[in-house]
Amino acid sequence: MVPHLVTALTGPLLDLEKKILEATPAIERWFRLEWQEHTPPFYCSVDLRNAGYKLAPVDTNLFPGGFNNLATEMLPLAVQAAMAAIDKYCPDARNLLLIPESHTRNPYYWQNVQRLMQIFRQTGLHVRLGSLSPDVTQPTPLALPDGNMLVVEPLVRSSNGRRVGLADFDPCTILLNNDLSAGIPSILENIHEQSLLPPLHAGWAIRRKSNHFKAFDEVAKKFGKLIDIDPWLVNPLHAKCGEIDFQEDVGMECLADSVSALLSKIKKKYREYGMKDQKPFVIVKPDAGTYGMGIMTVKDASEVKDLNRKQRNKMSVIKDGVQVTDVMIQEGVPTFESIDDKVAEPVVYMIDRYVVGGFYRVHAERGIDQNLNAPGSQYVPLAFAQQHAVPDLKAKPGTAAPNRFYVYGVVARLGLLAASLELERTDPNPEVY
């Protein structure tokens, strides 16, 4: 299950791996105490970048859609974690309504939905699919590549207006696997008698990446203090620019200035670590939104001012035709992981506070400084927690895959913790916490 990895096994990452492994008891205790204070998101996936000199999350997804890419050996772990999560919200739950993405014909996405249903059925729940799409007016079958069939059904609001379900199905818990990029549908508003997971403000209608990484700054500082490292080794520098209109060429000065300032900060860090040959770059991405849309790699501020029409069009609109008005500028973390000479990055999946697996996102046509979440990417599953994948403290740093996976899991959980702080702070009804 462990793919052959080619990684830069020199420099600070070895030191970071060593420090994390030596501090395992302190780290696990610290997480345990943090989870007494904060509620983890119901589920979450974190995209990591291993640059050899740092290991940092570059994206945290609160509606993960790749459960089909996890190794089947990890399923028992996912079922246990799902049980723990459901117990928190509805201990006597019998019915779970899963609301998937509406306008996708992608068979891989539906395999992800099938895998989620399988996990929750194993926890002892009846699981059915409810669609937000106005086109679904009756139970609609969807054929999967493996010959199986899923059925999506129209959502129905109860007669008292306080619950959502299907015509003959009243769930205790509603699980969203739809990131609400197109906005919050009225049928999901003001639900008072059911657990809606994740909450509506986790969707892209409200959520902003800049809020997440602001929370991550705090988490990284605490973690750095805990194990005595520079927080930068696990944290990408970032900035935000608002009031942008790529089509009309509005806000480009602000964007170019922010890019320039961030590149200078990265250069300073490279000098501090004696990295003379490393060329800094930044990633410009929408402050809201997913699917790897509207993302560009920038190595010089002038590139932002000189965008051609095609580049402007690509940057101006994301999923569901949503217009981009705010962007985040993030320190570019190159990936030095590769599988079969193809560039790769690890993605870690969690349910509740537990790591339940992950995979490498691999792209044959992308460079080490580019976004890999793009058409043409492939997935290599990782078994994070098989019996033989317990960290080996005697192994030399950089030589044991289980140690590497444990370290991935630690940094991904920092992203999970940041997401829980972010959700607390952006909650329109904070008294729930």
Q: What CATH number did the domain enclosing 105 receive?
A: 3.40.50.11280
**One domain for residues 371 and 413:** yes
Give me the domain span that covers residue 9: 5-65+208-425
| 146 and 279 housed in the same domain | no
Confidence of residue 348 (pLDDT cuts 50, 70, 90): very high
User: What's the pLDDT at 1?
Assistant: 35
CA dihedral 145, 174, 416, 423 (to 10 degrees): 140
- What pLDDT is attached to residue 3? 41
Question: What's the CA angle centered on 309, arms 305 and 312, to 5 degrees?
Answer: 65
- With respect to residue 34, please indicate whether it lies within any of the assigned structural domains: yes
Q: Which residues pair with 157 in a beta bridge?
A: 164
Residues 232-243: what's their mean pLDDT? 93
> 141 and 77 in one domain?
yes
375 and 257 together in one domain:
yes
431 within domain boundaries: no
Among the residue ranges 163-172, 290-299, 334-343, 344-353, the one predicted with the least confidence is: 290-299
Domain-ending residue, one of 205, 240, 257: 205
Domain tally for the chain? 2
Q: Of 205, 232, 249, which residue sits at a domain end?
A: 205
Q: Are residues 212 and 89 located together in one domain of the fold?
A: no
Shared-domain flag, residues 380 and 329: yes
The pLDDT of residue 292 is: 61
Of 181, 205, 229, which one is at a domain's C-terminal end?
205
Q: pLDDT tens digits for 21-79?
A: 999 999 999 999 999 999 999 999 999 998 888 999 999 999 999 999 998 888 999 99
Q: Are residues 359 and 337 in the same domain?
A: yes
Is 408 found in the same domain as 392? yes
Entry pTM? 0.92
What is the spatial order of strands in the sheet that 296-298 belongs to? 238-241, 327-331, 282-286, 296-298
pLDDT digits (tens, 9 = 90+) for 150-185: 999 999 999 888 899 999 999 999 999 999 988 999
Do 133 and 241 have their domain in common? no
Q: Are 324 and 379 found together in one domain?
A: yes
pLDDT at position 18 over 80: yes
pLDDT band of residue 400 (cuts 50, 70, 90) is low
Average of per-residue pLDDT values in the chain: 88
Q: Which two tokens stand for residue 165?
A: 């379900």
As a whole number of angstroms, the distance between CA 93 and CA 86 comes to 8
Query: H-type helices in 247-308, by residue range?
Result: 252-272, 302-305
Peptide bond into 334 cis (omega under 30): no
Mean pLDDT of 118-142: 96
Average pLDDT over residues 72-87: 93
Examine residue 280 and state whether it is found in any structural domain, yes or no.
Answer: yes
